[in-house]
Structure 1
Amino acid sequence: MLQLIKKDFYIQKMVWLFMILAIAIYIFAQASSLFVGIIFGIVMTVNLFAIDEKKSAQLLLNSLPFTRKEIVSSKYIAAFLYIMCIIATISVLHVVVNQAIPNIYHLLMICIVSLLVVAIFYPFAYRFSSKYFTFLFVGIFAAYLFCLKLFVPNINDQIRELVGYLSSVSQPMIYAYILVATVIFYSMSWLLSIRIYSKKVFE
Structure 2
Amino acid sequence: MFNLIKRDLILQKRQLLIYIPCILFFIIMDKNPALTFLFASIIIPFNTYYYDEKAETNILLNSLPYTRKEIIASRYLGAIVYMGLSIVVTSTALFVFNKPFTITEIAIGSGLFLLFAAFTFPLFYIFKSGHISTVIIISFILLAGVGPHIVSFLAKHLTAITDFIASLSVLALYTGAAAVIVILYAASWGVTMVIYQRKAF
- Common fold: TM-score over 0.5: yes
Aligned to 1:8: 8
Instruction: Indicate if the aligned counterparts of 2:40 and 2:87 stay in contact, CA closer than 8 A.
Output: no
Does 1:71 pair with 2:71? yes
Instruction: Indicate if the aligned counterparts of 1:41 and 1:86 stay in contact, CA closer than 8 A.
Output: yes
In the superposition, the TM-score normalised over structure 1's length comes to: 0.77
Deviation at 1:158, TM superposition (A): 1.7
Deviation at 1:176, TM superposition (A): 2.3
CA distance in 1, matches of 2:85, 2:137: 26
Deviations 1:114-140 (A, max 9, x none): 01111111112111146247558989x
Alignment of 1:85-124 (within 5 A): 85-98=85-98, 100=100, 102-124=101-123
Specify every segment of 5 or more residues in structure 1 that has no aligned partner in the other structure, as ranges: 143-147, 149-153
In the superposition, the TM-score normalised over structure 2's length comes to: 0.78
Cα-Cα RMSD = 3.3
Deviation at 1:159, TM superposition (A): 6.0
More displaced 10-residue stretch of structure 1: 106-115 or 170-179? 170-179
CA distance in 1, matches of 2:136, 2:90: 30
Deviation at 1:10, TM superposition (A): 1.3
Aligned to 1:145: none
Aligned to 2:33: 33
Specify every segment of 5 or more residues in structure 2 that has no aligned partner in the other structure, as ranges: none
Aligned to 1:176: 175
Instruction: Indicate if the aligned counterparts of 1:127 and 1:196 stay in contact, CA closer than 8 A.
Output: yes
Identity of aligned pairs, percent? 30
Deviation at 1:95, TM superposition (A): 1.4
CA distance in 2, matches of 1:194, 1:67: 11
Q: How many residues align?
A: 186
Instruction: Indicate if the aligned counterparts of 1:119 and 1:186 stay in contact, CA closer than 8 A.
Output: yes
SS at match of 2:122: helix
Aligned to 1:194: 193
Instruction: Indicate if the aligned counterparts of 1:8 and 1:48 stay in contact, CA closer than 8 A.
Output: yes
Instruction: Indicate if the aligned counterparts of 1:108 and 1:175 stay in contact, CA closer than 8 A.
Output: no
CA distance in 1, matches of 2:170, 2:127: 39
Deviations 1:58-110 (A, max 9, x none): 2111100000011111011111112222221111111121164x211111011
Instruction: Indicate if the aligned counterparts of 1:121 and 1:133 stay in contact, CA closer than 8 A.
Output: no
